[in-house]
Structure 1
Amino acid sequence: MTTETNESMPINIGISADDRKKIAHGLSGLLADSYTLYLMTHNFHWNVTGPQFNGLHQMFMTQYTEQWNALDMIAERIRALGHPAPGTYKAFIQLASIAEVEGVPKSNDMVRHLVTAHEAAARTARKMFPLVDAADDQPTADLLTQRIEVHEKTAWMLRSLLE
């Protein structure tokens, strides 16, 4: 993650190598959180039971599909900044701020875990703004804004199920 991918042709996009490295590292944390959230949501989709089964099963499928598509956008931004994207469980565990859930929780606990995880992903994205703004990196800022919006809206919708 710390080595640029093409040293024979330096990247000259108006963002310093040091800033690109720091931004790529931050995005790697977001990618790890996003992958962990994707896997959690897919697991819950497979294992949800109870009176809310159909609604949650469908909702979780919509959510994990959105997460899956986001993974590519985040990884490709890391690559565009000249760094390899992490792609192993070992790397994701080291980088993620979201903990894995043990066992199969009850449906309301699944919803609570997902609210917490979406909020964590939003915090991971939000904490990158000072660096991204200082580096004048609008594409990453746009990506972060999109991800925060999705995570905050999804957390709100999930939280509404618990009222």
Structure 2
Amino acid sequence: MSSIVVLSGSPSATSRTAALTGHLAARLRDHGHDVRLVLVRDLPPAALLHADVTDPAIAEVTAAIEAADGVVVASPVYKAAYSGLLKTLLDLLPQFALAGKTALPVLTGGSPAHVLALDYALRPVLSSLGAHHIVPGWFVLDRHIEVTGSGVVLHPDAEAPLLSVVDTFSRVLPVGVV
């Protein structure tokens, strides 16, 4: 069983991205992985903005990322990139916090034009943090994510390819020592 941290970089309390990351975390748990979901918006804002890496919540998330075999990094698209909230956390990580890890980038947005943010914004930062392997990520249109009382319903055009990418991520993770 591998250890995975799923980062949700949406600042919104009613976020489709956050609901989607919960859905992906559940799928990865169903594959037998140990998964921790981190809603970056729930981390202490002062610690994030003041780059206080000694804050217990920031230190704990950093340690969880460093101990993980894989990381899923998800965000809505803002200004042709990932959210500033996610950027504040990624900036606090050590230079090679993702060294030896497999990473899966996932973005959500309102237009297919935003798909380029996957390869031109999110993938480069994951690479700069030393990710060993970045699997092909996926972009999901907002309108293809329906948040319900019991979770998420994905449009068929989004569900099959997204879950295929998640399953590929699951398969390429190293088998953790139990």
The TM-score, its normalising length taken from structure 2, stands at 0.26
The TM-score, its normalising length taken from structure 1, stands at 0.28
Relative contact order (C-alpha < 8 Å, sep 6+): which is higher?
Answer: 1
Higher strand fraction: Structure 1 or Structure 2? 2
Higher helix fraction: Structure 1 or Structure 2? 1
